[in-house]
A = this chain, B = another copy of it.
Amino acid sequence: MQAQSQRESMKIAVIGQGYVGLPLSLLFVNKGFHVFGIDLDHRKIESLLQGKSYLPDVTDKEIADSNQSGRFVSTSRYDSVSEAEAIIICVPTPLNSSHLPDLTILERAVAGTAKFLRKGHSVILESSTYPGTTREIVQPILEKESGLAAGTDFYLGYSPERIDPGNETYKVENIPKLISGITPACIEKISNLYARAFQKVVSVSSPEVAEMSKLLENSHRLINISFINEIATICDALNIDVWEVIEAAKTKPFGFTPYYPGPGIGGHCIPVDPLYLQWKAQQEGISSKFIQLSDEINRSVPSYLASRVSALLQKHSAPANANVLIYGVTYKKDVNDVRESPVLDLIVQLQASGYSVSYHDPYVPSITLADTIYNSVDIDESSLRNAHCVIIATDHSVIPIHDILAYAPLIYDSRNITAGLSGSGKVYRIGTGN
């Protein structure tokens, strides 16, 4: 009962109510915490207050239930920080136009927190960022603004978010939670906090190790997916089916992990985080040639796809201004997120080649590219027949693949969902030659 009442009374603030902060907030609410969900985006707060979700992984009901519990307060005001005992920062850490780390949003969130910092507070950063950020960026801002000392007056640490949108097996609660702190007391305090919500908490010796491990995880993915995309181009040239090759290699029970080709990697993490590591390495006068190469190859996939499609259109005697219909514009299946989506670049490239490009995505009603607004078109017999080529760019679970196969005269499949299927028109898959 002691523990229970203590748990119920604890208040935390989660700054940033995006794909990381919102599920985290709801988890803590479910565990009995009072949570202030803070976001400067008024539309998000409005939506939360109305019990409406803006994330595919979060249901309206989960938000409504949290609201009804009386322990979830969503707000755009930082002053609720002063009421909380712990502040968790989950704001975006994007790249600027030169592909360099842009910590502006993070710095503002930290400064906003610092104003209300009190003795005994815990501050935990969850945003993916380069090693050293917690100690070299966050700590000085907090200390300067508040006049308090990290490690003495307040607790400070880093715990990388590991959310995988769309993953049905691993959600916030059952993904092991790495935590760190700038002193042993910080580690203990932060570990105790997270242990109340997460199934498994693993502490590491320093924020730098925790920061680096997140970048390693995502760099590992960037490199492996970029490599298999390169292999797909080689298989195209050799007329070998890369998908069958991967299935074959997968039968080896050790030493091999399958990754799959596609239109390139997008999203807020995999294409971005490695460049944070690259930037930090470059500050030390070295660099990762692997990250550089992976970034280059990843950015080149859309133009490779565009050139394959263009060659196919010519082969099939389509007009120079052929209609190209793209299914799916998000960076992966079953999400509504187009950040860094390679499909956007694919559209731009095809448009520049003179094709008339349209798209359908059940989760994205419209996109804006180079000042042009594209609205998702209906996908039906008429639009499919009218397209000289249909490109399967994202394989949402709801894709009407049998309609596409039945009506599209030419299909270019970048996701291998047509494997083993045939259509009334010709079907090509990336990495299989022809």
What residues on B are CB-neighbors of A170 within 8 Å?
A: 253-254
Out of B164, B178, B240, B290, which one reaches A131, CB within 8 Å?
Answer: B240
Q: Is the CB of B231 within 8 A of A288?
A: yes
Q: Is the CB of B227 within 8 A of A290?
A: yes
The stretch that binds B, out of A105-113, A120-128, A142-150, A244-252, is A244-252
Q: Is the CB of B210 within 8 A of A248?
A: yes
Does A98 sit at the interface, judged by CB under 8 A?
Answer: no
What residues on B are CB-neighbors of A238 within 8 Å?
A: 131-132, 208, 212, 280-281, 284
Q: Is the CB of B164 within 8 A of A254?
A: yes
Q: Which residue of B lies closest to A130 (CB)?
A: B238
What residues on B are CB-neighbors of A231 within 8 Å?
A: 216, 219, 288
Q: Is the CB of B212 within 8 A of A286?
A: no
Interface size class of chain A, counting residues whose CB lies under 8 Å from the partner chain: 35 or more
Does A223 sit at the interface, judged by CB under 8 A?
Answer: yes
Q: Contacts A204-B244, A238-B284, A248-B204; is A254 near B178 (CB within 8 Å)? A: no
What residues on B are CB-neighbors of A249 within 8 Å?
A: 213-214, 216-217, 220
Does A175 sit at the interface, judged by CB under 8 A?
Answer: yes
Does A58 sit at the interface, judged by CB under 8 A?
Answer: no
Does A66 sit at the interface, judged by CB under 8 A?
Answer: no
Q: Is the CB of A202 within 8 A of B248?
A: yes
Q: Which residue of B lies closest to A211 (CB)?
A: B240
Does A353 sit at the interface, judged by CB under 8 A?
Answer: no
Q: Is the CB of B220 within 8 A of A227?
A: yes
Q: How far is the CB of A365 from chain B (nearest CB, A)?
A: 30
User: Chain A 235-276, CB within 8 Å of chain B: the 1/0 string?
Assistant: 101101100111011011111110000000000000000000
Q: How far is the CB of A72 from chain B (nearest CB, A)?
A: 28
CA of A224 to CA of B237, assembled, Å: 24
Out of B237, B241, B253, which one reaches A281, CB within 8 Å?
Answer: B237
CA of A241 to CA of B249, assembled, Å: 32
CA of A284 to CA of B101, assembled, Å: 38
Q: Is the CB of B230 within 8 A of A288?
A: yes
Q: Is the CB of B246 within 8 A of A169?
A: no
Does A312 sit at the interface, judged by CB under 8 A?
Answer: no
Out of B209, B223, B227, which one reaches A245, CB within 8 Å?
Answer: B209
User: In A347-366, which residues have CB < 8 Å from any B CB?
Assistant: none
User: In A178-215, which residues have CB < 8 Å from any B CB?
Assistant: 178, 200, 202, 204-206, 208-210, 212-214
Residue pairs across A and B with Cβ atoms less than 8 A apart, 7 shown, are A176-B251, A204-B248, A209-B244, A212-B238, A220-B227, A224-B224, A233-B286
